[in-house]
Amino acid sequence: DAGVIQSPRHEVTEMGQEVTLRCKPISGHNSLFWYRQTMMRGLELLIYFNNNVPIDDSGMPEDRFSAKMPNASFSTLKIQPSEPRDSAVYFCASRTSSPGQGRYTGELFFGEGSRLTVL
Amino acid sequence: DAKTTQPPSMDCAEGRAANLPCNHSTISGNEYVYWYRQIHSQGPQYIIHGLKNNETNEMASLIITEDRKSSTLILPHATLRDTAVYYCIVVSGTYKYIFGTGTRLKVLA
């Protein structure tokens, strides 16, 4: 089964440019999370979607950051304009809210991440 | 902010049990304890979770104290591939998976 798919895996851009990171959650999952990871701050929760609706965006650092989820199979995280301090690894994770078969774990499934470098 | 405290690093000999402690003294009655690990720069991977009973799966065991203020993740026979950063998380509500700084476990040959 395909896991959470993120693109691009690596992005190098110059300060001031627009950056768009993409995420395809696992089919059937109705919750989606964006995280950012840096050495200084560790893993930070940026935004949480449930059924394509943003529920909590309190972790989004500034207005330069925006996230959308136009349908159940796609989400974007956009930074405009980008700054060097935005350099980080951005992870997308998805989760089902349904117990399904067996014991419900509430497990988050993470993608491989998008490593962003802003020069 | 993370609601857990973990030692920054630990070493374990290959083949021995790795016992990773976690303090969560402010945990509420309905909050679950989750453990994840992150190998190198990959995305974090779920290991196990629990509420108040001890839990075991194919990867690990989770021991939660009776007062729920702390827990221990046990990897029964650590291998070199278990070298990773291990995160103990108290999940608030339905979605606040707040990762702390974790424990960097190094399994030694």
Give CA separation, A107 vs A43, A63, A86, A101, B33, in Å: 16, 30, 27, 14, 12
Hey, what are A16's tokens?
């001031």
pLDDT of residue B22: 96
B4-51 tens-digit pLDDT = 999 999 999 999 999 999 999 999 888 899 999 999 889 999 999 999
The residue of chain A nearest to residue B48, with distances taken between CA atoms, is A105
Is B57 part of the contact surface with chain A (CB cutoff 8 Å)?
no
A4–B43 C-beta distance less than 8 A: yes
Q: For residue B82, is pLDDT > 70?
A: yes
Residue B60, C-beta contacts closer than 8 angstroms, at least 6 positions apart: B35, B47, B48, B73, B74, B75, B76
- Phi first, then psi: what are they for B15, rounded to 5°? 90, -15
Closest residue by Cα to residue A88 from A37, A41, A43: A37
User: B91 forms bridges with which residues in the sheet?
Assistant: B32, B97
Which residues of A are less than 8 Å from B100 in CB distance? 42
A chain contacts of residue B45, beta-carbon cutoff 8 Å: 110
Q: Which of A4, A118, A1 is nearest to B44 (CA)?
A: A4
Would you call A108 and B32 a contact, using CB atoms and an 8 Å cutoff?
no
> With 80 as the cut, is the pLDDT of residue A53 above it?
yes
Residue in A with minimal Cα distance to B50: A105
Residues of chain A in contact with residue B101, where contact means CB-CB under 8 angstroms, are: 42
Q: Give pLDDT, residue A100.
A: 55
B49: contact with A, CB 8 A cutoff:
yes
pLDDT in tens, A66-103: 999 999 999 999 999 999 999 999 999 999 876 555 56
**Greatest extent of chain B over all pairs of C-alpha atoms, in Å:** 41
pLDDT the model gives residue A103: 63
Residue A101, pLDDT score: 55
Contacts of B32 in chain A (CB under 8 A): 106
B41: contact with A, CB 8 A cutoff? yes
Query: Are A110 and A4 a contacting pair, CB within 8 Å?
Result: yes
Chain A closest CA to B22's CA: distance in Å? 17
